[in-house]
């Protein structure tokens, strides 16, 4: 690991820097990724044309606009990425900023599938690079500069043409997507005349947090309020979690839907939980969820999706350095 370049520092400063640099060798990369993940980002698909003339592209969130005059932008690509060399040598590239309707496209281009461009709608841009249909904005760029930066390269592009729409942009923070449309659906659900259930999918040390369901013998349920009696609210959910010894920061919505069996409007947040007291909490491995003890098919279906996305999110699609810049660069 290279020494930090400390210029103009006094001897004492240099000693301090040396100490800190040594300390740095002990950095935990997972911790650094998590810290990087605190910065909210949009999601882009970066594309170019390979030497064979075929389209190439990957999902990335390491985009930054740089300059207006001249019009410049940049993205980071991991040196270990299969397509890095293609992008480094290409005469240009396009950056497609995804809208909240394009979550699936984001997942597609973060995958290793070879038929990405067959599965997506796209067309060549004015400067020749592939533009993904339905994006919130796109920039078709000529290569301007390539900068070596540790385990990544910075690819700076000179914008040759661009366009944008008023679609709500897709967001990403702490390893999860953010869609304002889902937030609005939650307001809608909560303001409907039907009863509202507000719940949480919480993880503690990679296990799912469940609570006993008093209405069914040996039944289990997600932490949730409003299933019996009047509608639940997020503040009631907070109170419940506190009573059960669970310390959780909620903020990211996972699902908003109407339970077809009960006609309840269901709003589920997700998050990590600390256990202050074990209390009545049951922790279940995701590979061994007690499906038959859960209240209904709607809950099972949502948890199956959560478990699947979680697996993809942590072990496949974002197995790279998703919190660190490039979500994943593949060919």
Closest approach, Cβ 291 to a second copy, in A, equals: 28
- Shortest Cβ distance from residue 282 to a second copy (Å)? 23
Instruction: For residue 55, give both structure tokens.
Output: 């389209």
Cα(174)–Cα(195) distance, integer angstroms: 31
Enclosing H/E stretch for 102 = none
- Smallest gap from Cβ 213 to a second copy, in A, equals 21
The residues facing 209 across adjacent strands are 283
- Least separation in angstroms between residue 232's CB and a second copy is 7
Cα atoms in the 13 Å half-sphere on the side-chain side of 324:
17
**Cα angle 183-184-189, degrees, rounded to a multiple of 5:** 100
| Distance, CA of 103 to CA of 177 (rounded, Å) | 8
Q: How far is the CB of 80 from a second copy (least distance, A)?
A: 11
Q: Of the two residues 27 and 291, which places its CB atom closer to a second copy in the complex?
A: 27
Q: How far is CA 308 from the centre of its chain?
A: 14
Q: Based on CB atoms, which residue is closest to a second copy, 116 or 152?
A: 152
Q: What would you measure as the largest C-alpha separation in the chain, in angstroms?
A: 72
Adjacent-strand bridge partners of 142: 92, 158
83 vs 289 by CB, closer to a second copy:
83
Choose between 145 and 297: whose C-beta lies nearer to a second copy. 145
- Classify the phi-psi angles of 295: left when phi > 0, otherwise alpha if psi is within -120 to 50, otherwise beta: alpha
Is 156 or 221 the residue whose CB approaches a second copy more closely?
Answer: 156
Q: Tokens 């293609």 sit at which residue?
A: 86
Closest by CA to 267, choosing from 243, 234, 230, 289, is 234
Question: By C-beta, is 96 or 220 nearer to a second copy?
Answer: 96
Q: How far is the CB of 200 from a second copy (least distance, A)?
A: 12
CB of 47 vs a second copy, minimal distance in Å: 16
């Amino acid at each position: 690991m290279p020494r930090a370049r400390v210029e103009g520092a006094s001897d004492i400063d240099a000693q301090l820097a040396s100490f800190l640099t040594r300390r740095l060798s002990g950095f935990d990369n997972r911790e650094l990724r998590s810290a990087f993940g605190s910065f909210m980002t949009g999601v882009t698909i970066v594309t170019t044309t390979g030497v064979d003339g075929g389209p190439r592209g990957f999902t990335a969130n390491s985009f930054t606009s740089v300059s207006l005059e001249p019009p410049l932008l940049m993205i980071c690509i991991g040196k270990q990425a299969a397509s890095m060399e293609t992008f480094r040598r290409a005469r240009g590239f396009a950056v497609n900023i995804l809208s909240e309707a394009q979550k699936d496209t984001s997942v597609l281009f973060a995958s290793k599938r070879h038929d990405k461009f067959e599965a997506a709608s796209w067309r060549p841009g004015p400067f020749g690079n592939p533009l993904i249909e339905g994006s919130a904005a796109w920039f078709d760029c000529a290569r301007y500069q390539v900068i070596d930066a540790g385990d990544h390269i910075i690819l700076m592009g000179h914008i040759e043409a661009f366009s944008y729409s008023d679609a709500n942009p897709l967001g990403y923070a702490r390893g999860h997507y953010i869609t304002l449309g889902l937030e609005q659906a939650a307001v809608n659900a909560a303001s409907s005349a039907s009863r509202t259930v507000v719940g949480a999918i919480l993880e503690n040390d990679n296990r799912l947090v469940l609570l006993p369901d008093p209405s069914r013998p040996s039944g289990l349920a997600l932490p949730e309020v409003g299933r019996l009696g009047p509608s639940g609210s997020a503040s009631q959910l907070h109170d419940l979690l506190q009573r059960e010894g669970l310390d959780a920061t909620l903020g990211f919505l996972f699902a908003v839907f109407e339970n077809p069996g009960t006609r309840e409007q269901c709003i589920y947040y997700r998050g990590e939980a600390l256990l202050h007291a074990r209390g009545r909490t049951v922790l279940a491995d995701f590979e061994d969820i007690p499906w038959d003890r859960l209240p209904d098919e709607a809950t099972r279906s949502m948890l199956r999706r959560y478990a699947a996305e979680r697996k993809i999110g942590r072990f496949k699609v974002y197995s790279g350095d998703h919190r660190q810049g490039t979500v994943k660069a593949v060919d």
